[in-house]
Amino acid sequence: MLTVYGMKLSGNCYKVQLLLEQLGRPYRWVEVNSAAGETRTPQYLAMNPNGKVPLLELEPGRWLAESNAILCFLAEGSPYWPQDAWLRAQVLQWLFFEQYSHEPYIAVARYICRWLPADHPRRAELPRLRERGAQALAVMEQHLATQPFFAGASYTVADIALFAYTHAAADGGFELAAYPQVQAWLDRVRAQPGFVALAAA
């Protein structure tokens, strides 16, 4: 049985939950509270020296970190991971876009707005995070004007990865009404078989 170490409120962890539900694959979820230091204990660092969630455990001693690497691994052989090499390359392009040009702005803005006190000094980062996050949303908007999902006609793990924080972008102060193609795509994702929503706080 697969074990996922994760935080239900984290978008990166939700990606893994959503895919496993859509695959109909049984798994055990171990809730880990990184805010309480639980990803920095010697036991946790022995599983993931980078001290982050989510973490997939195939069996004791076999661990895989990085949400998007976990998505690729679990999706292999399913419709969520294309057979065609060029489409797979497109999926990977969007997965790296998500981790480099999207998540560091949209997820971090959400974190600051939702979990830090209103007078926290990190709020000074918000204008830059919102500027960069808006750039990522604009790239997505333009792309989705040409095709229904990120890697073409079919829903893949690229859509799962980008859905995770995009649909919750309002939490970080982003106005999704400015991105109608993105909004229509969010609805197409929500309509996929086996879809489950991100846990509410």
Residues that bind a copy of itself (CB under 8 A): 49-50, 52, 58, 62, 64-70, 72-73, 76, 85-86, 88-90, 92-93, 95-97, 99-101, 103-104, 139, 142-143
DSSP assignment string, the chain: -EEEEE-TT-HHHHHHHHHHHHHT--EEEEE--GGGTTTSSHHHHHH-TT--S-EEEEETTEEEESHHHHHHHHHTTSTTS-SSHHHHHHHHHHHHHIIIIIHHHHHHHHHHHHHS-TT-GGGGGHHHHHHHHHHHHHHHHHHHTT-SBTTBSS--HHHHHHHHHHTTGGGGT--GGG-HHHHHHHHHHHTSTT--PPPP-
Whose Cβ is closer to a copy of itself: residue 18's or residue 140's?
140
CB of 126 to a copy of itself, least distance (A): 17
Whose Cβ is closer to a copy of itself: residue 131's or residue 196's?
131
Whose Cβ is closer to a copy of itself: residue 23's or residue 92's?
92
CB of 66 to a copy of itself, least distance (A): 4
Whose Cβ is closer to a copy of itself: residue 1's or residue 196's?
1
Whose Cβ is closer to a copy of itself: residue 67's or residue 156's?
67
CB of 115 to a copy of itself, least distance (A): 20
Q: Please state the separation of Cα 200 from the chain's center in Å.
A: 16
Whose Cβ is closer to a copy of itself: residue 100's or residue 115's?
100
Please say whether the beta carbons of 56 and 17 come within 8 A: no
CB of 94 to a copy of itself, least distance (A): 8
CB of 117 to a copy of itself, least distance (A): 21
**Count of beta carbons in the 10 Å neighbourhood of residue 75:** 19
CB of 89 to a copy of itself, least distance (A): 4
Residue type, 73: F
